[in-house]
C-alpha cells in the first residue's frame, strides 16, 4: 500500500552546516516524487530522514499521518536503493534479494518463490546463484532494486541510483523505474541532480537549494512558472536578462521591448527568463541582436547574441546556420508567445523565504 | 620484468634466509642422533628425540600450551571485535585515532615490566584484592588471582590484544557503512546486522588475529614465569630446560611438533576463513 509522507518544519544541522532549514513538504501516496538539486543542497539528508537513518533536530515526519519519530529504520515501511547499492558481497544474488524476507521469517519455499518473482520483475530471472561481485553495473542496480521491492514497501527511496552508469544504461533503467512505479503502486521518492531523470519520471518534484525547498511543482509547472531566477537557471531557462524597466506587459531590455505577459506581484527587481526553445532566427523578428560567437555542436549550432548593453543570449540554430552568420553581424530573432517570463531574481539569500506551495 | 625481479629478490632472500632456513635446520636436526662424547649431535637418523616427548609428562605440557594458546587467542578476538567495530563505525575520526594509539601502548614497555606490573596489581595486597575487600565482597585476599592460570591468562591478554586488534581493524575498514544501513533498511536489528553482515565479512581478520595471538602465546615465557605458580609449564620453558641439559634432538623435536601444530592451524584456518581475503584489493 502506498503511503503519504508529511514533512513539517524539519531542520537538520551537522556541526556548522545547516543541512536542512525548516523544510515542509507533502508527498502524496503513490506519487513519483523527485528531490532535485546540486550536491550539498540537502536532498540526500531529507531522504535519510525519511528512511530513518537520521533524526531531525526539529519538526515532524509523518507517514499517512502517523508520527515516525520513534520508529527506527528497521521497522519503517520504507526501503531504499542506496547510491553505492550496498549489495552484501558475501551473499549470492538470491541471498541478497531474500535477506529481508529471511529476517521477517518467511518460510524457505515461499522465499524462493518470491525471490524468483522479484528477479523476474527486474529482468534478472534465473540469476539467483550468481555472485554479485561478478555482475555488471546495470545488473547490480537491478539486484538492489529487487532487494528493496521484494519487501513490498509503501515507500521506495532511490538515492541517486543512476549515478556512475553509462548513458544507455541510464535511459534503460530510468524507463524501468517508471514501469516499476506503475506496477508496484508504491510512493517513489527519487533524489537526483539530473534534471532529465527528474523531468521524465516525476509526477511532481521539488527543487532544493542550500537546505531549503525553492519550489515544488509538476514538471510543466516549473517551466510555465519558475519560482525565481535560481530555478529558471537550474532548468536551463536561460538567459536571465535584467530589464531597464517593466511597463504594461513588456520588459524593456537595452531599449527593445519583450512581451512578458502580466508581471507577478512581489518581486522587487524582476528578471526576464527566456525559453531557448521558443526563440528562432527570423528576418521579420522583433529583437535585433549582434552575433558574438558561432559554435558548431554537431546536430545544431549555438549562436551567442548580444544586446547593445552587453547582455547575451544563446540561440540554438540548425547546423547550416553557421555558414550564414558571421561574427559582428546583426540578426533578428522572433519570440514565440510565452517565450519570456518575468520572475523574481536569483536571490539565494532569500530563496528559502519563498512559500512552499 | 627485470626490475621487478631485482626488486623482488631482496625480500624473497630475506624471508628464506631469516625465516624458512632456520626452521628447516631445526626440523632436520630433530632427526639426528645425540652424541654424549661431544655433547653435540651427529648426522645419523634417530627418533629418540620424538620418543622422549612421550616421557616425563611432556605431552601434557604441549597440550596445555595449545589449550592456553587457543583460550587466550579466543579471548583476545572476542575483546578486539567490539573494539574494531567501535573504531570503524562508532568513533569519529579523532577518537578512532586515539583508540588506535591506545591499542599500541602495550608495545611501549618490555614484556617483563608489564608482566611484573600485573604481579603487583594481582598480588595479595594489590589494588584488586584491596578494592574487593573494601567493597566487602571478600573477607580474605583472593589467592588464585596471582601465581595461577588466571594470572597467566590476564598477562597474555594484556600483552597480545593488539595482535588480535589490528588485523580485525584492517578487516573492519573494508566493510562499507552503507552495508549496515542496507541491512537495517531491510529490517535487521543491531545483533542481526553484526551476526549476518559484520562477522561474516570480517572472518578473515578475526582468524588472522586469532593466529597471531596463538603463535605469540606458544612462544611466550615471560608471562608464565612472572605470573604463573612455581613450575607452571609452557612449551618455551620446557624447551629451555631441555636445552640446559644439552638434549638438542629432544628440544628440536618439541619445536618441530609445535611448528607442525601452528602450520596445521594456519592451513585449516585458511581453508575455512580465507586468510588471503584480508589482503585482497589492498592496492585499490
Q: Starting from the edge strand earliest in sequence, which strands make up the sheet with A58-63, in order? A: A17-27, A5-14, A58-63, A66-67
Is the CB of B196 inside 8 Å of chain A's CB atoms?
A: yes
Give mean pLDDT, residues A330-334.
91
For the stretch A118-121, contacts whose Cβ atoms lie closer than 8 Å and that sit 24 or more positions apart, written own/partner, are A118/A146, A118/A147, A118/A149, A118/A150, A119/A93, A119/A94, A119/A146, A121/A146, A121/A149, A121/A180, A121/A183
CATH of the domain at A265: 2.40.50.140
Burial class for B86, CB neighbours closer than 10 Å (0-12, 13-18, 19+): middle
Q: Is the pLDDT of residue A89 over 60?
A: yes
Cell of B127: 589494588
Q: pLDDT at residue A135 above 60?
A: yes
pLDDT above 70 covers what percent of chain A? Answer: 95
Q: Is A53 found in the same domain as A20?
A: yes
Shortest distance, CA B100 to any CA of chain A (angstroms): 25
Chain B residue closest in CA terms to A86: B179
Contacting residues for B64 by C-beta, under 8 A, at least 6 apart:
B233, B234
What residues of chain B, 199 to 218, have a C-beta less than 8 Å from chain A? 200-201
Residue A192 sits in the same domain as residue A241: no
**How many of the other CB atoms lie within 10 Å of CB of A174?**
20
Domain coordinates of chain B in residue numbers?
A: 53-279
Do residues A111 and A160 make contact, with C-beta atoms less than 8 angstroms apart? Answer: no
Domain boundary, last residue among A198, A224, A250: A224
Are A209 and A322 contained in the same domain?
A: no
Q: Look at residue A188 and tell me whether its pLDDT is greater than 70.
A: yes
Query: What ipTM was predicted for this assembly?
Result: 0.81
Same domain for A199 and A282? no
SS3 B164: helix
Q: Does residue A229 lie within any of the structural domains?
A: no
pLDDT by position in tens, chain B (length 284): 678 888 888 888 888 888 888 888 888 888 888 777 777 777 877 777 787 787 777 888 888 889 999 999 999 999 999 999 999 999 888 999 999 888 888 778 788 888 888 888 888 888 888 888 888 888 888 888 888 888 889 999 988 999 999 999 999 999 999 999 999 999 999 999 999 999 999 998 999 999 999 999 998 888 888 888 766 778 888 888 888 877 788 888 888 898 888 889 888 888 887 776 766 644 33
Using CA coordinates, name the residue in chain B closest to A155: B185
Q: What mean pLDDT is predicted for residues A227-253?
A: 86
What is the model's pLDDT at position A263? Answer: 60
**Closest partner CB to A103 (pick from B178, B187, B201):** B187
The answer to whether residues A182 and A322 belong to one domain is no
Give the nearest partner residue to B181 out of A75, A78, A82, using CB atoms: A82
Domain B53-279 CATH (choose: 1.20.120.640, 3.30.70.100, 1.10.3720.10, 3.40.1190.20)? 1.10.3720.10
Inter-chain CB pairs, A–B, below 8 Å: 58
Same domain, A13 and A113: yes
pLDDT tens per residue, range A256-307: 888 887 666 556 788 888 888 888 888 888 889 999 999 888 888 899 999 9
A90:B187 CB<8 A: no
Q: What CATH number does residue A47 fall under?
A: 3.40.50.300
Residue A213 backbone dihedrals phi, psi, to 5 degrees: -90, 120
- Alpha carbon distance A32, A182 (integer Å): 9
DSSP B179: H
CB contact under 8 A, B196 and A99: yes
Quote the CA–CA distance of B122 and B108 in Å, as a whole number.
Answer: 21
Could you tell me if A205 and A71 lie in one domain?
yes
Task: Find the domain containing A58 and state its range.
Answer: 5-224
Q: Does B189 touch chain A (CB under 8 A)?
A: yes
Residues A40 and A138 in one domain: yes
Decide if A77 is inside a domain: yes
User: Does A208 score more than 90 pLDDT?
Assistant: yes
Last residue of a domain, one of A168, A190, A224: A224
* Domain match, A38 and A151 both: yes
Nearest residue of chain B to residue A74 (CA atoms): B187
**The residue to which cell 512578458 is assigned:** A260
Instruction: Say if B174 is an interface residue toward chain A (CB within 8 Å).
Output: no
The whole-number pLDDT of residue B279 equals 65
Buried b (16+ CB within 10 A) or exposed e, B236-267: bbbbeebeeeebbbbbbbbbbbbbebbeebee
A234 and A208 Cβ atoms separated by less than 8 Å: no
DSSP character string of B144-156: TTSSSHHHHHHHH
pLDDT at A355 over 50: no
pLDDT band at A248; cut points 50, 70, 90? confident
Instruction: State the cell numbers at A17.
Output: 552546516
Contact A61, A68 (CB under 8 A): yes
C-alpha cell at A268: 522587487
Where among A224, A249, A267 does a domain terminate?
Answer: A224
Same domain assignment for residues A63 and A193 = yes
Q: Is the domain of A278 the same as that of A196?
A: no
* Contact (Cβ atoms closer than 8 angstroms) between residue B108 and residue B186: no
Provide, as residue numbers in chain B, all residues whose Cβ is less than 8 Å from the Cβ of A83: 178
Chain A interface includes B89 (CB < 8 A) = no
| Statement: residue A43 has pLDDT above 60 | yes
Q: Which residue of B has its CA nearest to A83?
A: B178
In chain A, whose CA is at the least distance from the CA of B188? A74
DSSP tally for chain A: helices H, then strands E: 9, 21
Read off the pLDDT of residues A148-172 as tens digits, 9 standing for 90 and up: 999 999 999 999 888 777 888 888 8
Comparing CB atoms, the residue among A74, A104, A148 nearest residue B184 is A74
Amino acid at each position: 500500500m502506498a503511503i503519504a509522507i508529511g514533512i513539517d518544519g524539519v531542520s537538520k544541522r551537522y556541526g556548522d552546516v545547516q543541512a536542512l532549514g525548516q523544510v515542509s513538504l507533502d508527498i502524496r501516496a503513490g506519487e513519483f516524487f523527485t528531490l532535485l538539486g546540486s550536491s550539498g543542497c540537502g536532498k540526500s539528508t531529507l531522504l535519510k530522514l525519511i528512511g530513518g537513518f537520521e533524526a531531525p533536530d526539529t519538526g515532524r515526519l509523518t507517514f499517512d499521518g502517523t508520527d515516525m519519530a520513534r520508529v527506527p529504520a528497521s521497522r519503517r515501511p520504507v526501503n531504499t536503493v542506496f547510491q553505492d547499492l550496498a549489495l552484501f558481497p558475501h551473499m549470492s544474488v538470491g541471498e541478497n534479494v531474500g535477506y529481508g524476507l529471511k529476517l521477517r521469517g518467511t518460510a524457505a519455499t515461499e522465499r524462493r518463490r518470491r525471490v524468483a518473482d522479484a528477479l523476474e520483475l527486474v529482468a534478472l530471472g534465473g540469476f539467483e546463484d550468481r555472485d554479485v561481485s561478478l555482475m555488471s553495473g546495470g545488473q547490480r542496480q537491478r539486484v538492489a532494486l529487487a532487494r528493496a521491492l521484494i519487501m513490498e514497501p509503501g515507500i521506495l527511496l532511490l538515492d541517486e541510483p543512476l549515478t556512475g552508469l553509462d548513458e544507455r544504461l541510464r535511459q534503460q533503467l530510468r524507463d524501468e523505474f517508471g514501469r516499476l512505479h506503475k506496477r508496484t503502486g508504491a510512493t517513489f521518492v527519487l533524489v537526483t541532480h539530473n534534471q532529465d531523470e527528474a523531468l521524465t519520471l516525476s509526477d511532481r518534484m521539488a527543487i532544493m537549494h542550500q537546505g531549503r525547498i525553492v519550489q515544488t511543482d509538476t514538471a510543466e509547472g516549473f517551466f510555465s512558472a519558475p519560482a525565481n531566477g535560481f530555478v529558471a537557471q537550474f532548468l536551463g531557462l536561460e538567459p536571465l536578462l535584467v530589464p531597464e524597466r517593466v511597463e504594461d506587459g513588456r520588459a524593456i531590455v537595452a531599449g527593445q521591448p519583450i512581451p512578458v505577459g502580466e508581471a507577478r506581484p512581489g518581486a522587487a527587481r524582476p528578471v526576464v527568463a527566456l525559453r531557448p526553445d521558443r526563440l528562432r532566427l527570423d528576418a521579420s523578428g522583433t529583437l535585433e541582436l549582434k552575433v558574438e560567437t558561432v559554435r558548431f555542436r554537431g546536430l545544431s549550432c549555438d549562436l551567442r547574441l548580444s544586446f547593445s548593453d552587453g547582455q547575451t543570449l544563446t540561440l540554438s540554430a540548425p547546423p547550416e546556420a553557421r555558414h550564414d552568420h558571421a561574427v559582428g553581424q546583426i540578426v533578428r530573432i522572433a519570440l514565440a508567445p510565452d517565450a519570456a517570463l518575468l520572475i523574481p531574481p536569483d536571490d539565494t539569500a532569500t530563496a528559502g523565504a519563498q512559500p512552499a506551495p | 620484468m627485470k626490475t621487478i625481479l631485482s626488486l623482488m629478490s631482496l625480500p624473497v632472500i630475506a624471508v628464506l634466509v631469516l625465516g624458512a632456513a632456520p626452521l628447516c635446520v631445526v626440523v632436520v636436526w630433530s632427526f639426528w642422533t645425540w652424541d654424549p662424547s661431544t655433547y653435540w649431535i651427529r648426522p645419523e637418523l634417530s627418533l629418540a628425540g620424538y620418543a622422549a616427548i612421550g616421557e616425563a609428562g611432556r605431552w601434557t605440557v604441549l597440550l596445555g600450551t595449545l589449550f592456553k594458546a587457543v583460550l587466550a587467542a579466543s579471548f583476545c578476538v572476542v575483546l578486539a571485535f567490539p573494539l574494531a567495530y567501535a573504531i570503524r563505525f562508532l568513533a569519529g575520526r579523532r577518537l578512532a585515532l586515539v583508540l588506535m594509539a591506545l591499542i599500541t601502548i602495550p608495545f611501549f614497555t618490555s614484556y617483563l615490566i608489564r608482566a611484573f606490573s600485573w604481579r603487583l596489581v594481582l598480588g595479595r595486597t594489590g589494588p584488586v584484592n584491596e578494592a574487593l575487600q573494601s567493597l566487602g565482597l571478600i573477607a580474605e585476599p583472593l589467592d588464585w588471582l596471582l601465581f595461577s592460570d588466571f594470572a597467566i591468562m590476564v598477562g597474555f591478554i594484556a600483552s597480545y590484544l593488539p595482535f588480535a586488534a589490528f588485523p580485525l581493524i584492517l578487516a573492519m575498514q573494508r566493510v562499507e557503512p552503507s552495508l549496515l544501513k542496507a541491512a537495517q533498511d531491510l529490517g535487521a536489528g543491531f545483533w542481526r546486522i553484526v551476526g549476518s553482515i559484520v562477522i561474516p565479512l570480517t572472518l578473515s581478520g578475526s582468524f588472522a588475529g586469532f593466529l597471531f595471538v596463538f603463535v605469540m602465546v606458544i612462544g611466550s615465557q615471560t608471562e608464565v614465569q612472572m605470573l604463573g605458580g612455581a613450575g607452571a609449564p609452557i612449551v618455551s620453558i620446557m624447551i629451555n630446560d631441555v636445552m640446559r641439559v644439552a638434549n638438542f634432538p629432544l628440544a628440536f623435536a618439541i619445536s618441530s611438533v609445535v611448528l607442525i601444530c601452528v602450520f596445521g592451524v594456519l592451513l585449516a584456518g585458511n581453508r575455512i576463513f580465507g586468510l588471503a581475503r584480508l589482503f585482497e584489493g589492498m592496492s585499490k
